[in-house]
Chain A
Amino acid sequence: AQSVTQLGSHVSVSEGALVLLRCNYSSSVPPYLFWYVQYPNQGLQLLLKYTTGATLVKGINGFEAEFKKSETSFHLTKPSAHMSDAAEYFCAVTANRDDKIIFGKGTRLHILP
């Protein structure tokens, strides 16, 4: 079985500061990992994904995440926060190509001016 834990339901950073959203996963088989972003009154949008290969994955809007098997982590980072990054972010895991994705509870990112 798979599970995802996102540390911190709310994270606040200043504009221009580093963004770090934490995600740890549990999976009995090699996982596929995802980050999704949800802006107010919208659906979830895929930010980036890890399936196999390079462990540092780059996504849209300057975000990236690194798969660390030894730490069972897939933290999301962005070097410099922008006001438009304010949204809710979901980490997710799946073990099988056609299986359901398990989502974390989400982290709401607040950007301080």
Chain B
Amino acid sequence: DAGVIQSPRHEVTEMGQEVTLRCKPISGHNSLFWYRQTMMRGLELLIYFNNNVPIDDSGMPEDRFSAKMPNASFSTLKIQPSEPRDSAVYFCASTQGAGGYTFGSGTRLTVV
């Protein structure tokens, strides 16, 4: 298995632009998680899905952030409009239960 695949690996964008991050979970995994990691805040859970349904989005910082999971093999995290404080590494992870998460390699977002 190729693992959890995230794209792009790096994204540099200007403030005010729309940013879309993509994630392909491991086939057969029924839960998907989006995390944000920064030096100041550490690892923060933004939202997670179970069987493609959003279960808990209490970590989404503002209405500028939205996430979708249209099918079991694809999810997106969108930021519109982006701001410099959104600069972070965004991770996607998937799991099929108590075995623990498998993380992607992350997308490093820089908003200038």
Interface residues of A (CB under 8 A from B): 32, 34, 36, 42-46, 49, 51, 90, 94, 97-98, 100-101, 103, 105-106
Establish whether residues B45 and A100, one from each chain, have CB atoms under 8 Å apart when the complex forms.
yes
Interface size of B by CB at 8 A reads 22
How far is B103's CA from A97's CA once the two chains are assembled, in angstroms? 17
Q: B98 at the A/B interface (Cβ < 8 Å)? A: yes
In the complex, chain B residues whose CB is within 8 Å of the CB of A100? 33, 45, 48, 56
A10 CB to closest chain B CB (Å) equals 13
B44 CB to closest chain A CB (Å) equals 9
How far is B48's CA from A32's CA once the two chains are assembled, in angstroms? 18
How far is B30's CA from A34's CA once the two chains are assembled, in angstroms? 19
In the complex, chain B residues whose CB is within 8 Å of the CB of A90? 43
Q: B104 at the A/B interface (Cβ < 8 Å)? A: yes
Establish whether residues B101 and A46, one from each chain, have CB atoms under 8 Å apart when the complex forms.
yes
Q: B28 at the A/B interface (Cβ < 8 Å)? A: no
How far is B4's CA from A51's CA once the two chains are assembled, in angstroms? 23
Supposing A97-B97, A98-B97 touch, asked if A43 and B50 sit within 8 A by C-beta, the answer is no
CB nearest to B91 among chain A residues:
A43
